[in-house]
Chain A
């Protein structure tokens, strides 16, 4: 099938591009739009390295045919925080040592953001469940879970001030 012209709002910017409808959202983000922060791990929805928000919902972008993301809002790791001002979740990952090799980190941070959006004060068990679709082979997870707890406290503090 031939390419189609599609539009998508990515990190707040309207994007127009051509793609085959069965191209994976992951590949369009990385290769067509140059947003290489989103990683490919397993390519089969098990590892969460390709996590993005699609219309505000956490998804594995390797399992989304781009036609299903047309005319939608997508947020990738590039849309969370900025070089001058990190998001509290990113700061907490730095502070707690929640990132080592970095391969899982973008997906982990997007999943953590989604968790805190749905549940601003998660218990440790809820954090484990919220991140259960994101695999990390370096940290052993404890520092990641601590980072989410720290981020939740900071966001709560910021909300209170």
Chain B
């Protein structure tokens, strides 16, 4: 380990109002840490610039999954193990359950939280494509109050989000209107387990009478932010599943994405695979027996 723990401060206020008061008193000073699966890696490598950390792990206010009549509300501090194991999420939001299962090994799923995954704002994160495809809303909280917005507007740029320095991700709201929608998800990584994605996709479509009534497609690792493919969605809405405009869809995708070369893959490979995944997605959603 390359870090000196004595140069860091980690305090545990113990409840949410105390954490929010701390963040409000000195915005930007404190780095929230929950399961530590990102922050502790940076810390151990001696690359964590913030030296003042505030502990969110096991704040009870953030650890609940509530099933309401019209939405499932996932507390920001819920782990991916919790999300995977939840029966209503598995039944109604299989894309999110699948993404939760993709994340790291079991030990990391027991610690990594959904708010951490979003606040860290990596374009390669596993849960954003599913949240985009599920039209999630994100609820932010601070000592000033709370606000709720479409998750699709949450990411401003590479590793940048709409979160103010005094805000935390309080919850994700998943509208319960996708019963009967067909879904498709795939992650391309170096190996099946424990690998960060080169490209990943999550999509769901409402198909009735052989036509796509609506489709939602989220993709990761192909732009500075997780991307909802709105132009492709608009093109496909109303199309017959027998004659889907695959070539045009690929062209629109190609225009929308800006993949890069990095340690995990190349721009060229990502561009090619993203197109193939979209094509496989459309074929799968068309063929699924319903």
User: Which A residues have a C-beta under 8 Å from some C-beta of B?
Assistant: 1-2, 19-24, 27, 43-46, 48, 51, 57-60, 62-65, 67-68, 111, 114-115, 128-134
Contacts and interface: CB of A to CB of B under 8 A. Distances in A.
Interface stretch (B107-115, B126-134, B239-247, B266-274): B107-115
25 contacts: A19-B5, A20-B5, A20-B6, A21-B11, A24-B40, A24-B44, A44-B45, A58-B106, A58-B110, A59-B110, A59-B111, A60-B111, A62-B40, A63-B36, A63-B40, A64-B40, A64-B111, A65-B33, A65-B43, A65-B55, A67-B55, A68-B55, A128-B193, A130-B106, A132-B105
Contact of A132 (B1, B5, B55, B106): B106
Is chain A's interface secondary structure helix, strand, loop, or mixed overall?
mixed
Contact of A111 (B1, B55, B107): B107
A46 B44 CA distance: 13
Contacts of B110: 57-59
Contact of B6 (A1, A27, A65): A1
A59 B40 CA distance: 13
Nearest to A69: B57
Given A64-B36, A67-B55, A133 B107 contact: yes
B9 interface: yes
A22 B5 contact: yes
B116 to A, nearest CB: 12
A27 B105 CA distance: 22
Contacts of B37: 45, 63
B106 A65 contact: no
B105 A134 contact: yes
A4 B113 CA distance: 27
A133 B55 contact: no
B107 A22 contact: no
B104 A45 contact: yes
Interface string B185-203: 0000000111000000000
